[in-house]
């Protein structure tokens, strides 16, 4: 797939993909005050409930999904309005720079920069410093996890109250985990596409896609080091009943590793952070979908958080597929399980 895109002109494919996903301009919302601003030169959209409040509200920093390549503020307008209205929270949706034009760490840096600005000016938006959460879906869940890890060690800013990770992508070490095998051809995210997007984010191109999918981009000693965190052994047995076979990674290719070695940085792959970092993380909500290549990333991170004493609320959509939340009220139709997932997020927020 990556090869086809290279041959047919990556830019035109991306332009078309972005056009399809650009979202629609919505009219005014009777219950929300919405404004487009810049936080540390990063474009953001702020959603504030119009109703008077007894005291400061919750704050939510929202990072949209789209493989670090697609998506904008309009794409997630309905989701952000829903979160703000239903949980009575101030929501800040962040328009980070996209790959391949802006490679890693651009998206991460934009999300971190906007988050820092918000945390320094909470009073201005009527937000309670003790109730700020980061939230994201898919690539946005990756960014939320990375930002949460970075902020966990900061004593100069209010501590995050929670992180909400909706089917996040958290590692690029192993594209043959059980969920990758079981759901390799399930929309909206195919196995090849997951690796393709990760490479676009890291390097701005998808060279060596085949080798990365096969696992020959990771040195044996590194694979051994991370095996305690990234392994099918850490996936509960009930998730392996749908056809999974143990696969040995192909032989290591040093030249491939040289081009993708940034892939193991925790800011890119939060699942690989040290215990000392994971131990400091705030209360977490993780949503996974059964029919999703990224299911096991979420399950593995859930285990890591729990092993480090972090409280986790986990919600699994048995009938869910990747991207289902972003389809909330899309063109007038919605998937019941997507709405169910979104309402679980709202309930979690209300508990904070």
Residues recognised as catalytic: 138, 292, 322
Structure tokens at 6: 């290279």
Rg (alpha carbons) of the chain, rounded to whole number: 19
Long-range pairs, 263-266, Cβ under 8 A, ≥24: 263/172, 263/173, 263/198, 263/202, 263/217, 264/173, 264/218, 264/222, 264/226, 266/146, 266/149
329: left (phi over 0), alpha (psi -120 to 50) or beta: left
E strand or H helix at 37: strand 32-39
Q: Under 8 Å CB-to-CB from 221, ≥6 apart: which residues?
A: none
Percentages (nearest 5) of helix, strand, coil residues in the chain: 40, 20, 40
The C-alpha atoms of residue 341 and residue 119 are separated, in whole angstroms, by 27
What SS3 state is found at 168? coil
Q: Which of 142, 134, 177 is nearest to 296 (CA)?
A: 177
Q: Under 8 Å CB-to-CB from 157, ≥6 apart: which residues?
A: 116, 119, 120, 151
Q: Which residue has the tokens 């930002």?
A: 147
């Amino acid at each position: 797939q990556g090869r086809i895109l290279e041959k047919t002109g990556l830019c035109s494919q991306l332009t078309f993909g972005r056009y399809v996903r650009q979202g629609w301009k919505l009219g005014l919302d009777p219950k929300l005050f919405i404004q487009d601003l810049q936080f540390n030169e990063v474009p953001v959209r702020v959603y504030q409930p119009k109703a008077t409040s007894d005291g400061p509200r919750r704050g939510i920093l929202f990072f949209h999904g789209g493989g670090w390549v697609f998506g904008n503020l309009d794409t997630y307008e309905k989701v952000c309005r829903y979160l703000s209205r239903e949980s009575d929270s101030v929501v800040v949706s962040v328009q980070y720079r996209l790959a391949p034009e802006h490679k890693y760490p651009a998206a991460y840096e934009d999300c971190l920069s906007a988050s820092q600005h918000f945390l320094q000016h909470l009073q201005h938006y009527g937000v309670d410093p003790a109730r700020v959460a980061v939230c994201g879906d898919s690539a946005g869940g990756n960014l939320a996890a990375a930002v949460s890890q970075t902020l966990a060690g900061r004593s100069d800013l209010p501590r995050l109250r929670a992180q909400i990770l909706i089917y996040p992508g958290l590692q690029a070490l192993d594209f043959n985990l059980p969920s990758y095998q079981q759901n390799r051809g399930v929309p909206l995210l195919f196995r090849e596409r997951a690796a393709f997007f990760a490479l676009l984010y890291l390097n701005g191109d998808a060279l060596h896609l085949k080798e990365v999918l096969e696992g020959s981009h990771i040195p044996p000693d590194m694979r051994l080091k991370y095996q305690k965190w990234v392994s099918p052994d850490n996936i509960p047995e009930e998730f392996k009943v749908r056809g999974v076979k143990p696969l040995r990674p192909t032989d290591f290719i040093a030249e491939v590793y040289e081009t993708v070695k940034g892939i193991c940085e925790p800011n890119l792959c939060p699942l690989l952070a040290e215990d000392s970092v994971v131990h400091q993380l705030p209360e977490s909500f993780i949503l996974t979908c059964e029919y999703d290549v990224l299911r096991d990333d979420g399950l593995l991170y859930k285990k890591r958080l729990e092993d480090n004493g972090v409280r986790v609320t986990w919600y699994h959509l048995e009938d869910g597929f990747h991207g289902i939340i972003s389809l909330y009220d899309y063109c007038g139709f919605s998937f019941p399980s997507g709405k169910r997932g979104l309402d679980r997020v709202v309930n979690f927020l209300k508990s904070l």
